[in-house]
């Protein structure tokens, strides 16, 4: 060991060195472990908030259902509601071709990008790829077939470029490039998550046209891909009913959006509707919790009795048909319309709209089809629905027994799916029969996770390539990347806390009968979890969320005050409105963007007012007309009678603490 001294002195000195080394190693490992714990907690925060966001979308869907159920011809919001459920402007085939013909689009001389010609060639796509300055690692070809498993857009600023590259290669190698539809290939989801905004921002003139066309394209994307009859690939997942034959046969393009509420047709105004409404109102009390929440990765079989079909109010045929006095043919006609099956498409045969002798069977098949479609994961699936003990994220939403059943049914050996972010980019579960693959690195924040893709040869054994985009994130130290991600997660978490401010205060006060303003750390943690229901380790997070707690006590009043710092622009005296608005701001944004048909970026004060009234009625909050008017006017920042949607969203950003 290089200590050149007398023997006993030698040993002593080396001994000391070893002990010193041990000490330093022990200290350092402790430090790294604490960072790892923080990273783990940060991850949990992001996942919980993401799942809460999905729950939010269910709320939106319920709201649309509420609108349908409570619509009356006499209501003052009638025009707004009709507007929300307006007809799809689906052109006839000839018009469609003309409308979307690219040849008529003038390209200015100042354009310096690549010019593409059709039929698309490899040359053309390479030009595209080059133009996007994309570092590629093995482009698709007949020797190198690719399957892309959905969610190509939303989040990130280059969704359109990615789509173009994928579509380009699909055109060049139609038999070797396969695109599965994900839940983000859905125009309503795009309204919420940013893709719509991106397209309209990049293409001021043709943006709307592009979006319309994409809507159609998305609906035609296949739901699943099977490799060599052995490996099944879908975006979301499966259920015990998943049947590949059914999926192969269903007309997937008629399912335009998972969240798209049905149109109100003429029938809506006549007497029959009332009966439907009545029978449906009976179901309104039961929470339409969305799809069945299955067990996490436990070793015992699938659970619960609690199964709610999703969605309850649109394409899904009401379960208790005998309660309805709704003529069957009418129902069929209506449902076909709901599915976007417009007669002018020429796809609906006249005879179908008359009495259908096989009505019972058809509707059952349709119901089955809808379930199959949703199960492929094209809809949002609440992971944290009604099962309080299984509230934590992570884990598939069907049990290992379902995997076995479905794989067995079709003699498959592996299910590959995506939809959930994984820290290492991939993760096996269900005894290595299910593989989750997630290719977007730094998904939540720079440094949050690696991305991965699978390489598979003839042996069908998956090999993984992992990466992390952005040089910066690779060069960050562990501490820096954890810190960075953590800040972002905590900011998001503060938003959630703020949204539940009054519920939190009530919960805290239950532990503080003498109104001292402080409670124990323990009580703080359990109250917060009870209100937010995010399944987070609050005690572990406490140091980052609550500054200066003393002797294991938390001054909750002060803490809540600190959370309540919003952008000064919103001067609203009524705190309950502010809170309700904050809680629902994502859904409000989606609704506003639906209302804003010409994508101008703003809606009228009147439309805002009416939307708000409807929403508060649905949420059963008591808000006076005057309060809403005041609110509308205060959000109309430049006082021109219209509300800029982006400004509205900006107003809800909590100041970063």
**What residues act catalytically?**
184
CB 534 within 8 Å of CB 496 = yes
Asked whether the beta carbons of 467 and 451 are under 8 A apart, the reply is: yes
Considering only 137, 477, 515, 638, the residue that binds another protein (CB under 8 A) is 477
Helix (H, G, I), strand (E, B) or coil at 452: strand
Instruction: Examine residue 486 and tell whether it contacts another protein (CB under 8 A).
Output: no
Rounded CA-CA distance 429/600 in Å is: 46
Q: In whole angstroms, how close is the CB of 534 to another protein at the nearest point? A: 12
Q: Does 25 bind another protein (CB under 8 A)?
A: yes
Cα-Cα-Cα-Cα torsion 158, 161, 165, 170, nearest 10 degrees, comes to 100
Select the residue interacting with another protein from 5, 6, 12, 32 (CB under 8 A).
Answer: 32
Residue 615 CA, distance from chain mean position:
21
Among 82, 126, 520, 642, binds another protein (CB under 8 A): 520
> Which region, judged by CB under 8 A, interacts with another protein, from 254-262, 341-349, 477-485, 608-616?
477-485
Query: Interface with another protein includes 471 (CB under 8 A)?
Result: no
Say how far apart CA 36 and CA 31 lie, in whole Å: 9
Q: Does residue 11 interact with another protein by CB under 8 A? A: no
* Of residues 544-583, those binding another protein (CB under 8 A): 549, 551-553
Q: Is 24 in the site for another protein (CB under 8 A)?
A: yes
Binding piece for another protein, criterion CB under 8 A, among 14-22, 82-90, 166-174, 321-329: 14-22
Part of the chain binding another protein (CB under 8 A), chosen from 233-241, 261-269, 536-544, 592-600: 536-544
Task: Kindly tell me which of 208 and 392 has the beta carbon lying closer to another protein.
Answer: 392
Query: Using CB under 8 A, which of the segments 10-18, 154-162, 181-189, 505-513 binds another protein?
Result: 10-18
Q: Is 420 in the site for another protein (CB under 8 A)?
A: no
C-beta of 446: minimal distance to another protein in Å? Answer: 16
Window contacting another protein (CB under 8 A); options: 175-183, 261-269, 383-391, 397-405: 383-391
Q: Please classify residue 235 by burial: count the beta carbons closer than 10 Å to its beta carbon, then call 0-12 exposed, 13-18 middle and 19+ buried.
A: buried
Separation between Cα atoms, residue 167 and residue 153, nearest integer Å: 13
The answer to the question of residue 23 lying near another protein (CB under 8 A) is yes
Question: Which residues, 395 to 414, sit near another protein by CB under 8 A?
Answer: 395
- Give the span between the Cα atoms of 86 and 66, in whole angstroms: 16
DSSP string, 5-45: S-HHHHHHHHHHHHHHHHHHHHHHHHHHHHHHHHHHHHHHH
99: how many CB neighbours lie within 10 A of its CB?
A: 14
Please give, one letter per residue, the 3-state secondary structure of 290-354: CCCCCCCCCCCCCCCCCCCCCCCCCCCCCCCHHHCCCCHHHHHHHHHHHCCCCHHHCCCCHHHHC
Per the structure block, which two tokens stand in for 456? 């598979």
Q: Does 517 bind another protein (CB under 8 A)?
A: no
Question: Between the CA of residue 589 and those of 194, 362, 522, 582, what are the distances in Å?
Answer: 11, 37, 37, 11
Q: Does 446 bind another protein (CB under 8 A)?
A: no
Closer CB to another protein, 297 or 572, in the complex: 297
Longest dimension (CA), the chain: 106
16 scored as a contact of another protein (CB under 8 A): yes
Residue 285: phi and psi, rounded to 5, are: -70, -35
Contact 461, 428 (CB under 8 A): no
Closest to another protein by CB, 460 or 478: 478
Q: Given the complex with another protein, which of 113 and 301 has the nearer CB atom?
A: 301
Is 34 one of the binding residues for another protein (CB under 8 A)?
yes
Q: Pick the stretch among 39-47, 129-137, 249-257, 311-319 that binds another protein (CB under 8 A).
A: 39-47
Would you count residue 389 as binding another protein (CB under 8 A)?
yes
Q: Please, how many CA atoms are within 13 Å of residue 144, restricted to the half-sphere of its CB?
A: 8
Separation CA 567–CA 655 (nearest Å)? 6
Question: In whole angstroms, what is the distance from residue 642 CA to residue 605 CA?
Answer: 5
CB 336 within 8 A of CB 348: yes
Q: Which stretch binds another protein (CB under 8 A): 505-513, 515-523, 626-634, 638-646?
A: 515-523
Query: By CB under 8 A, is residue 40 in contact with another protein?
Result: yes
Nearer to another protein, 67 or 546 (CB): 546
Helix (H, G, I), strand (E, B) or coil at 485: helix
Identify which of residues 552 and 568 has a Cβ nearer to another protein in the complex: 552
Under rule CB under 8 A, residue 428 binds another protein: no
Please give the Cα distance from 69 to 281 (Å, whole number).
Answer: 7
- Each residue 278-307 as x (binds another protein by CB under 8 A) or -, in order, gives ------------------xxxx--------
Among 179, 339, 525, 603, binds another protein (CB under 8 A): 525
Is 461 or 478 the residue whose CB approaches another protein more closely? Answer: 478
Peptide bond into 119 cis (omega under 30): yes
What tokens were used for 213?
């066309």
String marking each residue 99-138 x if it binds another protein according to CB under 8 A: ----------------------------------------
The window from 22-30, 161-169, 229-237, 364-372 that contacts another protein (CB under 8 A) reads 22-30
DSSP one-letter code for 550 = B
**Number of chain residues interacting with another protein (CB under 8 A):** 51
List the one residue from 9, 10, 29, 201 that touches another protein (CB under 8 A): 29
Q: Closest approach of Cβ 461 to another protein, in Å? A: 23
Candidates 365, 400, 374; CA nearest to 223 is: 374
Examine residue 26 and tell whether it contacts another protein (CB under 8 A): yes
Binding status of residue 392 toward another protein by CB under 8 A? yes
Q: How far is the CB of 535 from another protein (least distance, A)?
A: 8
CA distance 575 to 582: 10
How many Å apart are CA 561 and CA 546, to the nearest integer?
Answer: 12
Out of 478, 565, 655, 657, the only residue in the binding site for another protein (CB under 8 A) is 478
d(CA 227, CA 456): 10
463 lies in the site for another protein, by CB under 8 A: no
Binding status of residue 516 toward another protein by CB under 8 A: no
DSSP class of 378: I
The answer to whether 151 contacts another protein (rule: CB under 8 A) is no
Contact 563, 498 (CB under 8 A): yes
Name the residues that contact another protein, by CB under 8 A.
16-34, 36-37, 40-41, 44, 296-299, 389-392, 394-395, 477-479, 520-522, 525, 535, 537-540, 543, 549, 551-553
């Amino acid at each position: 060991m290089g200590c050149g001294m007398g023997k006993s002195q030698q040993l002593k000195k080396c001994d000391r060195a070893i002990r010193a080394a041990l000490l330093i190693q022990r200290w350092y490992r402790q430090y790294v472990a604490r960072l790892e714990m923080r990273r783990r907690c940060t991850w949990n925060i992001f996942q919980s908030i993401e799942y809460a966001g999905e729950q939010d979308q269910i709320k939106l869907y319920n709201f649309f259902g509420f609108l349908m159920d409570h619509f009356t011809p006499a209501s003052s919001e009638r025009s707004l509601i009709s507007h929300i459920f307006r007809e799809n402007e689906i052109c006839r085939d000839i018009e469609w071709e003309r409308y979307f013909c690219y040849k008529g689009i003038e390209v200015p001389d100042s354009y310096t990008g690549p010019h593409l010609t059709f039929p698309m060639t490899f040359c053309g796509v390479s030009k595209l790829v080059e133009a996007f300055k994309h570092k590629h690692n093995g482009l698709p070809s007949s020797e190198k077939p690719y399957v892309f498993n959905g969610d190509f857009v939303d989040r990130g600023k280059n969704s359109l470029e990615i789509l173009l590259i994928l579509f380009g290669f699909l055109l060049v190698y139609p038999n070797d490039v396969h695109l599965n539809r994900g839940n983000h290939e859905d125009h309503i989801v795009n309204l919420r998550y940013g893709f719509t905004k991106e397209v309209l921002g990049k293409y001021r003139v043709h943006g709307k046209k592009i979006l319309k066309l994409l809507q159609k394209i998305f609906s035609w994307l296949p739901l699943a891909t099977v490799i060599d009859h052995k490996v099944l690939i879908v975006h979301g997942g499966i259920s015990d009913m998943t049947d590949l034959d059914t999926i192969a046969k269903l007309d997937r393009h008629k399912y335009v959006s998972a969240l798209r509420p049905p149109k109100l047709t003429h029938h809506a105004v006549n007497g029959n509707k009332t009966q439907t409404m009545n029978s449906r109102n009976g179901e309104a009390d039961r929470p339409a919790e969305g799809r069945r929440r299955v067990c996490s990765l436990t070793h015992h079989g699938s659970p619960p009795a609690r199964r709610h079909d999703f969605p309850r109010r649109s394409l899904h045929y009401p379960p208790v048909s005998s309660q309805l006095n709704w003529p069957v043919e009418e129902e069929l006609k209506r449902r076909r319309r709901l599915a976007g099956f417009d007669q002018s498409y020429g796809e609906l045969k006249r005879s179908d709209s008359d009495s259908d002798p096989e009505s019972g069977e058809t509707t059952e098949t349709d119901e089955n089809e809808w379930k199959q479609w949703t199960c492929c994961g094209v809809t949002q699936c609440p992971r944290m629905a009604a099962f309080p003990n299984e509230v934590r994220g992570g884990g598939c939403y069907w049990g290992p027994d379902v995997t076995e059943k479905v794989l067995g049914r079709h003699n498959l050996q592996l299910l590959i799916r995506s939809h959930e972010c994984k820290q290492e980019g991939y993760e096996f579960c269900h005894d290595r029969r299910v593989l989750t693959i997630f290719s977007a690195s730094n998904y939540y924040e720079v440094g949050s996770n690696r991305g991965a893709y699978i390489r598979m040869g003839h042996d069908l054994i998956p090999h993984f390539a992992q990466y992390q985009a952005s040089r910066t994130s690779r060069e960050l130290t562990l501490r820096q990347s954890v810190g960075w991600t953590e800040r972002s997660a905590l900011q998001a978490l503060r938003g959630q806390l703020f949204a539940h401010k009054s519920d939190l205060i009530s919960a805290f006060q239950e532990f503080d009968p003498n109104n001292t303003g402080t409670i124990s750390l323990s009580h703080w943690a359990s109250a917060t979890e009870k209100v937010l229901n995010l399944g987070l380790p609050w005690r572990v997070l406490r140091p980052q969320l609550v500054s200066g707690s003393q002797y294991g006590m938390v001054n909750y009043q002060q803490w809540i005050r600190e959370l309540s710092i919003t952008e000064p622009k919103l001067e609203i005296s009524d705190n309950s409105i502010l809170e309700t608005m904050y809680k629902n701001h994502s859904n409000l944004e989606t609704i506003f963007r639906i209302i804003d048909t010409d994508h101008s970026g703003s809606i009228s004060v009147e439309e805002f007012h009416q939307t708000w009234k409807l929403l508060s009625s649905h949420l059963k909050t008591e808000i006076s007309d005057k309060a809403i008017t005041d609110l509308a006017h205060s959000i109309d920042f430049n006082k021109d009678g219209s509300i800029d949607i982006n400004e509205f969203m900006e107003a809800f950003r909590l100041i970063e603490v």
